[in-house]
A and B are shown apart, each in its own frame.
Chain A
Amino acid sequence: MSSPTLEKHSAALDAAENTASQMITATFRIRRFNPEVSEEASWQDFQLEIDPKERVLDALHKIKWDQDGTLTFRRSCAHGICGSDAMRINGKNRLACKTLIKDINPQKPITVEAIKGLTVLKDLVVDMEPFFQAYRDVMPFLITNGNEPTRERRQTAEDRERFDDTTKCILCAACTSSCPVFWNDGQYFGPAAIVNAHRFIFDSRDEGGEQRLEILNDKDGVWRCRTTFNCTDACPRGIEVTKAIQEVKRALITRRF
């Protein structure tokens, strides 16, 4: 029993299975900062041999492990699921573990720096506390009244689909730290907090929508959004962040959700 797809391989599959080494030399230009050493941040270049099919995270590891152990960044899962390693790569917010070197033009120096709008603590590590505080402020948990059912609450597949997109968020802060409004005013909740409020406001099981909308109606809430779409472009989970913010705004006007 054989399947037709296995007989004629696509060029993409052939390329994926190609084991011949295709190492290139790339330059990584990394924004360094360590107040234990100097109050000034500066750029440092590293050259390394790397397979362009590897991730930027692999390159950072190679630098840390083989060249300079002081290079500091957060990471854990290495495949885009834990949200540890959002950084500015060639001027755009991305996850280092989800960005392949071949996709960011390794012919030129690749710049890597910490995400913007949050205080840099060392190299690529920023203070995440204000980000998580904004998240906690929108009451990101299911709020219900009345008695709990003995079995599960019912929810139709359509109702479940209504907020599917915003359940994907991994709290990586790529969106919030790409937002010009947030750069200028750290009081703004920022897109990630609104995404997580959206996830509950549009959950048919939730009864805390009014409370959350009031919080987001605040002067630092959704009305600050100027729909620049940076957040949507930045989101490594493909969440339509701007659309979610628009839906929350509309819910505030119509009080229907």
Chain B
Amino acid sequence: MKIHKYDTVIVGAGGAGMRAAIESTKRSRTAVLTKLYPTRSHTGAAQGGMAAALANVEEDNWEWHTFDTIKGGDYLVDQDAAEILAKEAIDSVLDLEKMGLPFNRTPDGTIDQRRFGGHSRNHGEAPVRRSCYASDRTGHMILQTLYQNCVKEGVEFFNEFYVLDLLLQDVDGVKKSAGVVAYELATGEIHVFQAKAIIFASGGTGKFFKVTSNAHTLTGDGQAAAYRRGLPLEDMEFFQFHPTGIWRMGILLTEGARGEGGILRNKDGERFMEKYAPVMKDLASRDVVSRSIYTEIREGRGCGPEGDHVYLDLTHLPPEQLDAKLPDITEFARTYLGIEPYTDPIPIQPTAHYAMGGIPTNVEGEVLRDNDTVVPGLYAAGEVACVSVHGANRLGTNSLLDINVFGRRAGIAAAEYSADHDFVELPENPAQQVIDQVERLRDSNGTERVTEIRKELQECMDANVMVFRTEQTIKTAVEKIGELRERYLNVSVQDKGKRFNTDLLEAIELGNLLDLAEVMAVSALARKESRGGHYREDYPNRDDVNFMRHTMAYREVGADGSESIRLDYKPVVQTRYQPMERKY
């Protein structure tokens, strides 16, 4: 075991982690621990764009953006945070441009903007061009630009280090963060990083679904580490299902495709979104479009031999426009489906895409351990966190924005904190929990296989807690996850070695997915209403009287060692926007 000491430690080198690192490295001695090489992070998969009311191509302002964010989140958004997001969006995009990001340009050389779902002029009048983009690889360009600037700033990375535990210590009755424990992939060695301030920026958790746009590595490690150490997870029942994933594969086809004029059609060729969202049509918010697609499928208007998908039709758009604005996604259709999007519509279905919930933070990125108390020295930003700027449903292009705005905020706040605080002493045997976990898995002769449990989990989640949920389906999921968690105790791995043991890490990642899936299902069961991404067929309406509040899920361990989930609730911060019915 090795012990390292840094002022600030950042877990994760995606957009949020690197944006934080650029700030924190200038101000404090910083280490970034990342399980992937920074440029492999899933921020690089983002396509469509980053929202900011630059008003480069038409009238726009940050207040409209704030409103759209709150409405898009079905009023579960904390309005003070949404206002910060929308206001700081403008500088955030300009900062990236100054760092070198090659945005697409308008004829007069400013940053070009395009339409995206749920973004409107003047509180819902008509779609507005607010998404700043670099072709259909905006996330790639953000990730590259941030990495380039990390190289420039000399940011210190520990690549292929898996953080598996968070160390908290009671100091005079106050729970403070002391460090993290990491597993080095190349050698199997365990490292303890003691730090004054820690930022979790470890991304999402989509891999508990089968059809997902998320990478294999998005397994919610950060959320799970915090949760196991007694910190709450907020709003985990809210997961976004993006309308247009490639049928059966889940690979994302950006909403930018509809922003450029693409149309969703059912098997009769009908533009069905006209029925469900007369104003915004194909550009209504994602939860609305995903439900509409499944309604078409359920009512027998789906496409293909099994009627289980619909089409994204780009055939009416000029090939030059597709080449210039959507080269990557048209290439995906060619590579993975063997079709030509110039002339063929693309088979699509909703795909599990984005975790609105996560580790609760305030607007400075400080992690909360209950409704109001922060954990001094602990921060979170990006998809792992819940500020909450996305509420019950995130608007497209607001996450690339979130990681930049709140990644930057967390980076500054953490470095300032470490500048005026001392190290918290490490607990005795700080790595014990990780050592035990690793050894148990490596030594186990159990009969259960990771692949089987993971497959059953993913199938269960797709079938029961996706776009449509009922008490019945969620209970089925809770029960099944419980059974899988039992079986997981008896899991073994084949690779017993130390070197690049990805077999072992997949087993650990599965443990995280199981914990988080359970939190998601239990939180969803208790929310007897429909709001944003959480749609209960047995409670189809939003219920502001009883559920205009954030879920806070805690892990409880009984005296006998038994685990359970305790749910609590936190009020939503409302400033100037009164909840209204959401229509598009």
Contact = CB atoms under 8 A, between A and B. Distances in A.
Contacts of A132: 37
Contacts of B306: 19
B33 to A, nearest CB: 16
B339 A16 contact: yes
B495 interface: yes
Q: How many interface residues does chain B have, given as a range?
A: 35 or more
B332 interface: yes
A36 B288 CA distance: 53
B498 interface: yes
A205 B100 contact: yes
B500 A125 contact: yes
B494 to A, nearest CB: 3
B105 A203 contact: no
Given A10-B340, A17-B305, A141-B148, A78 B98 contact: no
Nearest to A236: B335
Contact of B311 (A6, A64, A139): A6
A152 B186 CA distance: 42
Contacts of B144: 167, 169
A83 B39 contact: yes
A21 to B, nearest CB: 12
A244 to B, nearest CB: 15
Interface string A18-30: 1100000000000
Interface stretch (B221-229, B343-351, B381-389, B537-545): B343-351
Contacts of B36: 76, 82, 84
A160 interface: yes
B343 to A, nearest CB: 6
Contacts of A100: 335-336
Contacts of B151: 136, 140-141
B39 A171 contact: yes
A1 B494 contact: no
Contact of B451 (A65, A148, A157, A206): A65
Interface stretch (A66-74, A178-186, A223-231): A66-74
Contacts of B268: 2, 6
A50 to B, nearest CB: 15
Contacts of B451: 65-66
A70 B495 contact: yes
Contact of B251 (A6, A79, A141, A205): A79
A164 interface: yes
Interface stretch (B107-115, B117-125, B395-403): B107-115
Contacts of B494: 68-70
Interface string B108-142: 11110000000000000000000000110100110
A168 interface: yes
A98 interface: yes
Contact of B500 (A13, A72, A206): A72
Given A12-B339, A156-B105, A160-B102, A141 B270 contact: no
A122 interface: yes
B269 interface: yes
Contact of A148 (B98, B249, B495): B98
Given A76-B217, A98-B335, A203-B100, A82 B269 contact: no
Contacts of A253: none
Contacts, number: 202
Contacts of A128: 37
A215 interface: no
Interface stretch (B40-48, B67-75, B162-170, B557-565): B40-48
B94 to A, nearest CB: 6
Nearest to A152: B97
B200 to A, nearest CB: 19
Contacts of A17: 247, 303-305, 309, 347
Contacts of A73: 502
B102 A164 contact: yes
B251 to A, nearest CB: 5
Contact of B343 (A10, A37, A122, A148): A10
B315 interface: yes
Interface string A154-197: 11110010011001111100000000000000000000000000
Contacts of A122: 499-500
B313 A160 contact: no
B502 A156 contact: no
Nearest to B316: A3
Nearest to B154: A136
B338 interface: yes
A202 to B, nearest CB: 11
Contacts of A6: 265, 267-269, 311, 313, 345
A80 interface: yes
Contact of B335 (A15, A37, A66, A80): A80
Contact of A82 (B40, B104, B493): B40
A4 B151 CA distance: 51
B450 interface: yes
A153 B98 contact: yes
A9 B268 CA distance: 12
Nearest to B304: A17
Contacts of A140: 148, 151
A142 B98 CA distance: 8
Contacts of B340: 10, 12
B271 interface: yes
B338 A15 contact: yes
A19 B305 contact: yes
B313 A5 contact: yes
A82 B343 contact: no
A195 to B, nearest CB: 12
- The interface centre, meaning the residue of B103, B144, B311 with most chain A CB atoms within 10 A of its CB, is B144
A22 to B, nearest CB: 13
- The interface centre, meaning the residue of B36, B137, B148, B152 with most chain A CB atoms within 10 A of its CB, is B148
Nearest to A82: B40
Given A6-B267, A70-B494, A151-B94, 17 more contacts: A1-B269, A5-B344, A17-B303, A17-B304, A34-B499, A65-B450, A77-B40, A77-B44, A78-B215, A79-B251, A81-B44, A81-B328, A82-B39, A122-B500, A125-B500, A141-B148, A160-B105
5 contacts: A3-B345, A6-B268, A77-B42, A77-B45, A141-B100
Interface of B: 36-37, 39-42, 44-45, 93-94, 97-100, 102-111, 134-135, 137, 140-141, 144, 148-149, 151-152, 186, 215-217, 247, 249, 251, 263, 265, 267-271, 303-306, 309, 311, 313, 315-316, 328, 332, 335-340, 343-345, 347, 449-451, 493-495, 497-503
Q: What 7 A-B pairs have minimum CB-CB distances, sorted nearest first? A: A2-B269, A69-B494, A142-B100, A154-B109, A65-B451, A69-B503, A6-B269
